[in-house]
Structures are given as structure tokens and as C-alpha cells.
Amino acid sequence: MIEKMMSRKVYFVLRCILAAVFLYAGAGKIMDVQGFATVISGYGLLPGQLNYVAAVVLPLAEIVIALGLLLDVKGALSSYSVLLLVFMAVLAHGINMGLDVDCGCFAAGDPEGEAYHSLREALLRDAFLLLGCGYLYLLRLVKGFRARPVQAFVTSQEF
């Protein structure tokens, strides 16, 4: 049983699950940049126009990181983990301030955000995603799975 949980198949499936979350989240936010900028402004962390800049940059970063994770590109898992930690810090700030806002996790006006406005649930979900990242790091350490450097894709004859 433990050997199956430490297989390359589990490594692949977990990467796909984590990537799917960021792809879905990034795509939803990029479809409504203005709405996402409004959600970001609700946290009160950035001045005026930077909310809009963040509303463009964050979803694009999520999409690029997700694609990197799908392809197992070196640095994608670290980027995913760092971005999750940033999101968790923002959610913790919102909880600490007692904000009753959409978490902004998927898209402005997404059903989960509209129905619950629960920053605690979003923080818990992000913690589980971070746990998944930790498991991928463990598989890399124990099983020796390695991500491929970006130049492996650039110089590949497959494309």
C-alpha cells in the first residue's frame, strides 16, 4: 500500500489535481479582471491602481504555474507553494480584520464565494493544497523524482 502511495502515478495525479485548481482559479479570474480587482480591493492591502495590476498578474501567474506543474517544469512546484503561502497570508489578514468578503479564490461572484464568504474555509482549503505540495516534495526527496529544467522543453524536438 505504501509503495503505491509513493509511485510515479501518484506523483503525476497529484500534480494534475494541484494544476487543475490553479488553472480553474486563474481562468475564472482572468475572465473578469475588474470584478477580481474589486475583490482584491476589499482586503485593503494595495493602493488603488495596484488592485487592477494584481488582478491581471495573479491569474496569469496561476495559469503559467499550473502549466509548469502539469509539465513538471523545475521551479513550478516552488512557485505554486510560494503563491499559496501569499494567498494564505492574505486570507489570514482578512480573518484577523474580521472582513466579510469573497475570498477571491476562483472568480468574483463564484457560487462558493457568494454563498459562504468564508475566509476560514478558503484558508483550510489552501492548507490542504499546501499539504499536497509538501507530499510532492516528499516524493521528490524519497523517490528521486525530478522536475525538468525549462531548457529541456525549449530544445526538445517534440514540438
Tens digits of residue pLDDT in 8-32 = 899 999 999 999 999 999 999 999 9
Distance CA 145, CA 139 (A): 7
Burial class (CB in 10 A: 0-12, 13-18, 19+), 40: buried
Percent of the chain with pLDDT over 90: 70
Tens digits of residue pLDDT in 67-94 = 999 999 999 999 999 999 999 999 999 9
Distance CA 14, CA 35 (A): 30
Question: What's the predicted TM-score (pTM) here?
Answer: 0.87
